[in-house]
Structure formats: C-alpha cells, structure tokens
A = this chain, B = another copy of it.
Amino acid sequence: MRTGIATVCLSGTLKEKMQACAIAGFDGIEIFEQDLVTSSLSPEDVRKMAADLGLTLDLYQPFRDFDSVTEDLLAANLRRAEAKFRLMSRLGMDTILVCTNVATATIDDDDLRAQQLAALADLAGEHGVKVAYEALAWGKYVNDYEHAHRLVAKVDHPNLGTCLDSFHILSRDWDTAPIEDINADKIFFVQVADAPKLSMDVLSWSRHYRVFPGEGQFELAKFMGHVVRAGYTGPVSLEVFNDVFRQSDVERTAVDAMRSLIWLEEQSAKWLDTNAPAAGNAAGAGGTQAAARRRYPMELATLPQVAEPAGFNFAEVKAADTGVLEKVLGQLGFEFNGRHRTKDVQLWTMGHARVIINEQAPEAAEPAIAALGFDVDSPVIASARAQQLKAPVVPRKSQANEEVFQGFSAPDSTEIFLCQGNPDGTAAWTREFGEGLEVPSGARTAVIDHVNLAQPWQHFDEAVLFYTSALALEPQPYAEVASPSGLVRSQVMQTSDRDVRLVLNLAPVIQQDGADPGTAPRKTYQEHIAFAVDDLVATARAARDRGLAFLQIPENYYEDLDARFDLDPGFLGTLRDLNLLYDRDADGEFLHFYTATVGSVFFEMVERRGNYDGYGAPNAPVRHAVQYDHLHDLTKTNH
C-alpha cells in the first residue's frame, strides 16, 4: 500500500512538514495549497526537496467551488484553474483535488455540471493534469460519492476521475459497498480519516475532530476493503483536520500518522480475509480468502501477529528516595523479595502482584510510575510488531543469565516491557532477586487489577492507537469524571478477558491566576496502580493495623451512599470505619480504597464481587476532590 499524508495534518512550515513525513517513512504527500502559498520555498524548491527526501508529490489540494456556476464564474474558475495547473507543472505534480461546490454553486443541473467538468478536464489534459473530483459531505448540490462518480462517468474523460475520502463518505453514513462498482482507472485518489462518532454539524466535525485511523470509530477497514476490491492501487493518504495535531510536535504527529496507516493496512487485509467478496467479483472463486486477497492488485503488508496480553507481569515505580514507597507497600501487605543481583532495584510482591522499586532515579526525583510489564506469548514477536509500528525501543542493560526484556516507550514515556509469563502467574525473572525473603507468601491471591496513567492532552489519541495497535488492547467508550480542576476524560483500554485493564486519563490543569499564559500550570494529576484482592475488608484492617495512611473519605460520602443504596448499617459502618468506597450495579459489587499519594503515585486496593466490570466511576469525583484538597493544602503549606 502506498502511504501518503496531506500537509494540512501537521503543524509547522512546509519544510518542517516535509522533513517530518520523510522521517516517518511516508511514500508521498498531498500539498495543501495554503502551505505552499504561505511558504518562502519556490515551487521548484519544493519539487527538489521532495525528491531529495524521497517523497512523491501525490496531490495538490484543494481547488474549491468550481462547478454548478454561471457562465461568467466558469470563465473565471477556468482561468484560476489554469494558473494552478501551471504551478503544478513547476512542482512536477499531476493530480489536483477538486471538491464539489459549496459557496458559489447556483445551478443544480447534472448536465451543466458535466459540461463544466468536461471543460475543466479538457484544460487539465492540455497541462497533463488529472482532476480528482470529490464529493464534500456538505457540498451544496453534490455531497455523495456515488453522485460525484456518476458525473465523472458521464463526462468520461481521461483527465477526470473520482477522489474517495472516508470522512465525507462515513460521516454521512453512505454505503461503502458500491465503491467496488467503480472502475479502478477512474479512482484517481483515496483519502482516509477516522473520527469519533459525534452528533454535530458535519463541517465543524470535519474541521476540528478528525483523527488518524484507529483513533476514532469509523469502519475504515471495510471502507479500505471495498477500495482494494475495486482494484485501486494508488496512494492511501491521510487527510485529517484536528485542532490538537495541528498544535503538536510535527515529527511526533507524523510518526503517529504513519502508525495509523500501517495499522489500517493490516486491518484492511484482515477484513478482506474474513469477508467474502460480492458474488461475481473476479477474486471470489476458489482458494482461501487470504489467497484471494493476495490476488487484488494492491499489495497489503501484514504485521507480526500478537494475541492480547495475558496479564500484567509487573509494575515499576521509580524514585530517588524510595523509603516512603517501601513503607506504603509493606503496610499494604506486600512482602520484600530482595534486591536484584546486579541492578539497584527491589522486588515487592503480594500473590502475583509484583512491584519493582527502582532506585536509579535522578536526585530529588519524586516517586512516579516508570514502567509496566505485560505477559505475552512471544516477547520477540510482540516486540517486532511494536517496532514495525514505530514504537521507540527502550534499551535495558542485562547481564548474562538474566532475562532480557523487550521494551519500548509509550507516548507518555512510560516504558512498556514484553515478558514471557508463566501459565501459573509466576515470573521467572524473580529468581534474579535473591537477598530478601526466599519464598513469596502464597497465602493470599492478589494481582494487578488495573493501572491508571495520566496522558498529556496532545498525545491522548496517539496513546489510544498505540495501545490498540502495538499491544492489542481494546478501547472502550470514554467517560468524563468531574474533579475540582475540571472534567477528567477517562479511557479504558482492556483485554476481552479483563486480565489487563489500563486506564488512560486526560487530566485538566488549573491555570493559575496572574500567571503568564506561557508559564507552567500547576500539575494536579496523579497516576496509580490498583491491586485486586479476595477480601478487601481484611486487607484494609491489616493495613490499618500496620499504620497505612488511607485517603480519608468524607462523611458526606457515606450519607449519600446510604441514600443511594440503602445499605446494611453494619456494612456501612465498616465502609466508613475503614475509608472504603463502594459501588454496585446489575452485575455485582465493587469495594476499594486508596492510599495517600507519594510523589505522583498512589495505590488502590480493590475487590470485585460478582461480575462487576467497572472502576467505581461514581466514586472518582470523591477521590479527585480529596486528593485536590490534600495537594492544595500542601501547596499552601509550602508558601
């Protein structure tokens, strides 16, 4: 699959955009007109730079408001088009995107439109230019790709073809199957964009909320499957207008974009393998589906295959001074399993929940979640997949006879390690820790239930795609939770069996009064690791006896809880007494408590009863408020 991206997806100057596209590995780019008009690079400079960078210049875009106009306006539009055709010749480009008219169309007549498009195609032919005609979802008279293609077919000119854009098609819920009926020679270009399903006017939706494939909710693999079956072999190019991407680091966004296309390519191949072609299609008869897929003209690369991870292998917390961490884990009931034989790290375990305390932090570094280990079938294959998806590799030193972890860096810089888990939930590498207790206590079962990571706003969508594509986690619909510093967007990524649950939180930050808009806002958000146990009340009692500092839950909460759930007074008393939180739904019950925060990390202990599948979302505002209050008090004290 030939990959492309429109320069409008990225921030920066045209030069910065082109360099970033080349570094990310795109085959070609679309030149967004405004990027050229505002650039100090001449068309010849752009042509040479693209050649030097190994990028093809696939599409000049957009040319607006051409068709369905009066005769006067047609003459002006042809003059305007000719200037652009001359410019394209200097750029060495041969395809221009012409969208259906929004602003100046006054005559709704397909015969007239066809005549006008024929005139444009004639002129384009004289300049060796191909016109790719695209139906905008909000085009005044033409807003449906089938309508646009009927016009193309009617004109039947070698210099006029169709451009298919997934956003304009899927935002309107047009059926994508008829794409297969289009003659491949007449599909001049294909643009892809994903989007969250929003109920808003389609123009605003398009201009602000498009995302890269895999970051939204459109059925893009199906769209691409039909495109492939139609016989298209040209570039598949991203055209994503997004307020966040345009403000983000250009090289990073380009890599995110490339990852989305690599993933889409794989998903498209899978869709073709598992969906029978329409009857009568050339590739339909005989052989396996995969073999059939391979007979389509577009080559679709696949990636090393991984199953979803079987569980968390470990979580790692790093600090300069690890004393408080050790104390809190001990109070929670974790046991110290010794120091690593060659590294300055400690192992703490409770059942199968393993926490590594890493002492190799820079001076004065506050405790923070540094790394997560996941159990996978084959760390090598999973690592190969992640690397093909352009995950940055994390080097980790190891000595002879030590397990080598395959690791890479997630978008928020958390290190992700791929581990070979044992079927019984143990981990072989724990042998490398020898000086502490010989045998971890097996009296209680305990596992890492979930990990909650705070994501910077500009990398939130990137993180969703990253964990989806590289780690085979499934994004769930996101929730918004109230906090004293604004709504917290919370996105659960999990495996189908729930053995891995990762929560990505996009936290707001309070802008301090009087602060310059350019100065750093106060960081108000923390991350945490949650452990599931069989008997939370017993765990809490034991922790209290060991002196644990619980997050203090306000009395008002228990009164509200009682109003909502009509709880047994004895049980309510226990909850109140131990600072436990409670939730209930049709599937079961959820008990949990939190520790006070250490640096930017805190811990949660949970007990799931029945088939409760959530995270106590109704209780999240309480936690946020108490943590905010605490942080605020600390801030005041420091003044």
Contact = CB atoms under 8 A, between A and B. Distances in A.
Nearest to A525: B517
Contacts of A76: 566
B562 A517 contact: no
Nearest to A518: B523
A392 to B, nearest CB: 11
Interface stretch (A48-56, A168-176, A247-255, A428-436): A247-255
Contacts of A246: 485-487, 508
Nearest to A82: B563
A382 to B, nearest CB: 26
29 contacts: A12-B485, A12-B632, A13-B484, A16-B484, A16-B632, A36-B556, A37-B557, A37-B560, A38-B554, A38-B556, A38-B626, A39-B556, A40-B554, A40-B629, A42-B555, A42-B556, A83-B562, A199-B204, A207-B480, A208-B487, A243-B487, A243-B508, A247-B509, A249-B511, A249-B513, A252-B513, A456-B517, A518-B522, A520-B520
Contacts of A248: 510-511
Nearest to A245: B486
Contact of A40 (B36, B204, B521, B552): B552
A8 to B, nearest CB: 8
Contacts of A243: 486-487, 508
Nearest to A558: B37
A622 interface: yes
Contacts of A456: 511, 517
Interface in A588-639: 621-622, 624-626, 628-629, 632
Contact of A251 (B247, B513, B518): B513
Contacts of A12: 484-485, 628, 632
A329 B485 CA distance: 45
A89 to B, nearest CB: 13
Contact of A625 (B13, B33, B629): B13
A243 B457 CA distance: 14
Given A13-B484, A34-B482, A87-B563, 5 more contacts: A38-B557, A199-B201, A247-B509, A247-B511, A517-B523
A43 interface: yes
Given A13-B632, A42-B556, A201-B199, A247 B508 contact: yes
Nearest to A513: B249
Contacts of A36: 556
A198 B200 CA distance: 8
Contact of A521 (B208, B518, B560): B518
Contacts of A487: 208, 243, 246
Interface string A240-279: 0001001111011000000000000000000000000000
A519 interface: yes
A523 B519 CA distance: 9
B87 A559 contact: yes
A79 interface: yes
Interface in A114-169: none
A554 B200 contact: no
A510 B201 contact: no
A207 B482 CA distance: 11
B249 A510 contact: yes
Contacts of A87: 559, 563
Contacts of A622: 37-38
A517 B38 contact: no
Can you tell how many copies of this chain the complex includes?
A: 2
A343 interface: no
The 8 A-B pairs at the shortest CB distance, nearest first, are namely: A38-B625, A200-B200, A83-B563, A249-B513, A456-B517, A199-B201, A247-B486, A518-B523
Of the listed residues A12, A84, A204, the one surrounded by the most CB atoms of chain B closer than 10 A to its CB is: A12
A155 B248 CA distance: 57
A484 B250 CA distance: 10
B563 A80 contact: yes
Interface in A167-210: 198-201, 204, 207-208
Contacts of A13: 484, 625, 628-629, 632
B566 A79 contact: yes
B563 A84 contact: yes
A346 interface: no
A564 interface: yes
A458 B513 CA distance: 10
A496 interface: no
A512 interface: yes
Of the listed residues A33, A554, A622, the one surrounded by the most CB atoms of chain B closer than 10 A to its CB is: A554
A484 B200 contact: no
Interface string A419-439: 000000000000000000000
Interface string A300-318: 0000000000000000000
Interface string A550-575: 00101111011011101000000000
A37 B248 CA distance: 38
Interface in A513-554: 513, 517-523, 552, 554
Interface string A70-90: 000000100110011001000
Of the listed residues A79, A248, A484, the one surrounded by the most CB atoms of chain B closer than 10 A to its CB is: A484
Contacts of A37: 554, 556-557, 560, 621-622
B513 A518 contact: no
B38 A621 contact: yes
Nearest to A32: B482
A558 to B, nearest CB: 10
Contact of A554 (B39, B252, B632): B39
A563 B249 CA distance: 33
A406 interface: no
Contacts of A510: 11, 247-249
Contacts of A198: 200-201, 204
Given A520-B519, A554-B39, A556-B39, A80 B201 contact: no
